[in-house]
Structure 1
């Protein structure tokens, strides 16, 4: 229970969002970040609190895969004691916004790579909403939402393990993945780094689109759970408070449910993948 012990040894004012004391207006962010905050549609929530807790326990680099409008970057900037942020974003509109946030914050510990992560190196097609350049639902997975109209953007994608040396980063403590269905290719391309560093992985795994085949989605989930088991990790579902401001519990999941996505069940789609050896202490720490 070493993780839980370290967590409990902190004074209450230094635990999670309580240390940051951010209100819905983000008043304690730097004033020059207010425009970036609004552009990112960012407000502190359960993820802000959980990232703060996890980075307090592991004072190591945060890798943000699918940085989008900089929401996780702003979570990171609200944490009082941090040790490096590296974001990846294949949408060049979003990558430019994140770069502007970093410049406004004047943080030398934060960097953005305008590329995606995958299990192969090369150009891929990024599918975006035709009406939204900063589309948070943009995906490299062409089968995720069948029957929709998309605009396409070329995106450079890399296996993380192939480019890690060039990035000159330290040990990875926390990995956040929000890539709209392309989770497994990201994990496969990072497998050597994950096995070496044993990071905690905060990952969104969406329920299936109403037009997607249930059997195809099940194959995707089975492949993901097989990988998690192969690297000796455990899948934990993140349970949130009713107001969505706090992560209240981590629940071990033998399988990820296969159901149709709705606005009502979207809150169920966030997971923490953790090394098996850390599972008990993480569950205890969040109680």
Structure 2
């Protein structure tokens, strides 16, 4: 009871602290229980390697509380960034994070990227307002704790935001909504050929709805002459290398097998210059 009360009081405390990422110090706020949580140590090296040879805009689909944003800005503060985040609590938090740290070349869009511009239901599976499992797809196999009516934007607004700039690197972490995001961006991906960091939730069984959706994504990228790599990590969650694979297959452990890179075959030589490829 005392622990629960303390946790409740912590959600009412607003303060900021400093956090160092890749040698760069950031001011990190805590706002009504929402805070930045460091995660995915391997992602820093993945970003560093990709932006070594890819110039343009970093497109972040699924910003949450700015984990990928801070990784990018700790490596190259001037690399242009556009982030899509439908959760209004997360969008408010990340805007504050950007302002507190005076981050440059940042555009945060408080909306989800989707095939049509309109509204949708965001499902939260946790009591936390910044639930990192929140999804525009309700079928997660776990209880929906609450919902939010959120805005979605289609490809045309994204094209407007890009303007004449190239699409440099894409990260997609949208908790099951990957197919819709990929379909929305298909023409842009075909035009700009960006490498795509993507998380797939476990499909658990062959022929399941999630398995079929992932196979559709694989087919879409294969038609664009992309190769698929599983991101291999060390026990300490550092980037170990890229394992070329034909298909994601049926996965049951999201913590170790959920992260992938899709990259144009024409970029294989550039990839091999910055990553260890063929890691088992």
TM-score, normalising length: structure 2: 0.83
| CA deviation profile, 1:2-41 (whole Å, cap 9, x unmatched) | xxxxxxxxxxxxxxxxxxxxxx85383335x2436x9211
How many Å separate the matches in 1 of 2:54 and 2:80?
Answer: 12
SS of the residue corresponding to residue 192 of structure 1 reads helix
Kept after mapping to 2: 8 A contact 1:125/1:152: yes
TM-fit CA distance, 1:119? 1.6
Residue 162 of structure 1: CA displacement? 4.6
Q: Aligned residue for 1:105?
A: 101
Q: What is the aligned counterpart of 2:54 among 54, 58, 81? A: 58
Are the equivalent residues in 1 in contact too, given 2:182–2:217 (CA < 8 A)? no
Is 1:84 the counterpart of 2:80? The answer is yes
Residue of structure 2 in register with 1:229 after alignment: 222
Q: Which has the higher strand share?
A: 2
Task: Find 1:170's aligned residue among 165, 171, 175.
Answer: 165
Given the alignment of the two structures, is residue 192 of structure 1 paired with residue 187 of structure 2, yes or no? yes
Q: Secondary structure at the match of 1:218?
A: helix
Structure 1 unmatched runs, 5+: 1-23
Q: Aligned residue for 1:157? A: 152
How far does residue 83 in structure 1 lie from its aligned partner after superposition? Answer: 2.3
Unpaired stretches in structure 2, ≥5 consecutive residues: 1-18
**1:161: how far off?**
3.9
Q: CA deviation at 1:280?
A: 4.3
Q: 4+ residue runs of structure 1 moved beyond 6 angstroms? A: none
Post-superposition shift, 1:111? 1.4
* Equivalent-residue separation in structure 2 for 1:285 and 1:130 (angstroms): 38
SS at 2:228's partner residue? strand
Question: What are the superposed Cα offsets for residues 224-283 of structure 1, whole Å, 9 maximum, x if unpaired?
Answer: 1111112221211111122112x221112211121334xxx5121111111121134414
Q: How many residues align?
A: 256
Q: Deviations over 1:159-201 (max 9, x none)?
A: 2345422454611110011000111110111111111111110
Change (3 A) 1:115 1:52: same
1:93 aligns with one of 72, 81, 89: 89
RMSD of the alignment, in Å? 2.4
Q: TM-score, normalised by structure 1?
A: 0.81
